[in-house]
Structures are given as C-alpha cells and as structure tokens.
Amino acid sequence: MDALNQTLFLWINASDPSAASLLLGRFLANGLVYFFPLYLAVNWLRADAAGRDALVQAVLTALVALLLSWLAARFWFHPRPFVAGIGHQYLSHKPTASFPSNHLSFIWALCAGLWLHPARRRAACWLALLGLPVAWARIYMGVHWPLDMAGAALNAVLAAGLCLPLRAQTVPRLRRLLETPYRRVFAWPIARGWLRR
C-alpha cells in the first residue's frame, strides 16, 4: 500500500511547476476551503427550517469528522511526504500527521451531512466535487499523500453515520437555539423581507 501511495504521489506532485501553476495550487490547496463556510452562512440566511436543519447537520458532521481526524493522527502518526523526504514541497506546512487530510475531512463531512437531508442532496454532490481540486492541489503542492484523501472520504462517511441519529431531535433543537440570536441580530433586514425569518 505504501508503494502505491508513493507512486501516485510522485505522479501528481509537481516537479517543475510554473509560477502560475503554483499560484493556482496555493489557492486550491488553502483558499477554496473558505467557500464552504461561506456557503453555509449564505444559505442559512435564505433557507427554511428544513434547509437549516441540513446546514446544522452538516456542521455537526464536520465537527465529528475533525475529532475523528485528530484521534487518527494521535494514535497512528503518518509523516507527510516532505517529512519522509519524498517529492517536492511548495506549500509551507508544519510536520503534523498526514492521515487523514483535515481539509478534505471537513469539506466532505459537510457534504455527507447535507446528503442526509433529501432537500440538500444535489448541493451535497456539487460541493463534494469542489473538494476534488482541493485534494489534487494538496498532493500537487507536496503536503499530502493520495491515501490521505481516501482516508478523508472514509472519515466523512463515518462521521455522517455517527451523526445520523441526531437528525430527528437534536438537529431541530439546535437549529431553534441558533435561530433565536439570528433573529435578534438580523431583525431589521428580516422585518423588511430581505432575509428569511
């Protein structure tokens, strides 16, 4: 498995990239992830109760996935490619555990959480596809192995399964708790019909 991981890594990892390739790689590796919290925030402003339940479910799933990722790194430390002296590194990164990718665990866990709600399944699919260039870029820039991304996908599915029992009661309860301060803070635009109550 390690041999396959290294072969795939060396195939994807940049060896003589142009300045434009590195710029694109940096954006995809570190910048695109910020689109996902923005998606959550904007959709909260527009969504009905069912849509907000899906958003809450997505956030809970992402938090569980990050916890699982932390536990995996704590109990099975796998060095990053640049720590192992393999390939080329073009992105500054601490020598923390490589497996699984936190970026992709977060992204794909959000998607898996949304998938649990039928009204958000199409969005979950499109957002999951947006995770693919992030996965590619983190390998291309030399900070992750390909199997770190497979681990992130499994992590997301596991987190979604663990959070599934929360869908019926806990998620609507949390959504109602969040709606109270939201309605106070945004009372003025809500009253004018600019935002959903």
Peptide bond preceding 17 in cis form (omega within 30 of 0): no
- At a CB cut-off of 8 Å and minimum separation 6, what does 71 contact? none
Peptide bond preceding 100 in cis form (omega within 30 of 0): yes
Q: Report the alpha-carbon distance of residue 166 to residue 78 in Å, rounded.
A: 32
- Total-model pTM: 0.91
In angstroms, how far is CA 165 from the centroid of its own chain? 21
Which residue reads 């390998």 in tokens?
Answer: 139
> Contact at 8 Å (CB) between 163 and 60?
yes
What interhelical angle do 121-140 and 146-163 show, nearest 10?
Answer: 150
* pLDDT tens series, the chain, 197 aa: 788 889 999 999 998 899 999 999 999 999 999 999 999 999 999 999 999 999 999 999 999 999 999 999 888 888 999 998 899 999 889 999 999 999 999 999 999 999 999 989 999 999 999 999 999 999 999 999 999 999 999 999 999 999 999 999 999 999 999 999 999 988 888 888 888 88
